[in-house]
Structure 1
Amino acid sequence: MSTSELDRPGGASEPTTVEWDAVRELPPSAKLVAKVLEYNGTLTQSQLSEETLLPARTVRYALNRLEEAGAVDSRFSFADARKRIYTLTVEQ
């Protein structure tokens, strides 16, 4: 559960949205991951790696940067609790 979900009363509700300006200053890999999430909706890290053709380590770095900027929300997968599912929270 992300810290933004912990701050909200009642747990996970609608994620807060940020503007694309928060993503503009990030590295190209983070921008690519954000665009893939915008197009596909929610994906796991391994799915993002497949879609972007980026190494898993680069995708992990990009996701960390996007989470710090508040542009991505993550939660545990119901199908496999070992995996996290990432969703873009940027206004489109």
Structure 2
Amino acid sequence: MSATETETDPDAEGWEAVRELPPSAKLVAKALEYNERLTQSQLAEETLLPARTVRYALSRLEECDAVDSRFSFTDARKRVYTLAIE
């Protein structure tokens, strides 16, 4: 990818930010790329990471605006995460 493509494509900038994150955050981002929306517990199950590591990865991804979260319609105690970049 050339420098001009990165400048014109906002999603490319999002993946650039993810590239600088820890491996656990990259794994969580990839899991969200393949699954449209997941809760923290579903992400832990999907990635085989401990729940604490998933929480840390999600917080790092939220800092760089790579994921969006909202309350679950089925259980308001849970949050559902989606990838904000493509």
The structure in which a higher percent of residues are helix is 2
Partner of 1:8: none
Identity %: 79
After the TM superposition, which segments of 4 or more aligned residues of structure 1 sit over 2 Å from their partners? 16-19
Q: TM-score, normalised by structure 1?
A: 0.79
Deviates more, 1:59-68 or 1:18-27: 18-27
**Contact 2:25–2:57 under 8 Å retained in 1:** yes
Q: TM-score, normalised by structure 2?
A: 0.84
Partner of 2:64: 69
Structure showing greater radius of gyration is 2
Partners of 2:16 and 2:36 in 1: how far apart? 20
- AA partner of residue 19 (structure 2): R
Gapped runs of 5+ residues in structure 2? 1-9
Gapped runs of 5+ residues in structure 1? 1-15
Find the residue that maps to 1:20 and give its secondary structure.
helix
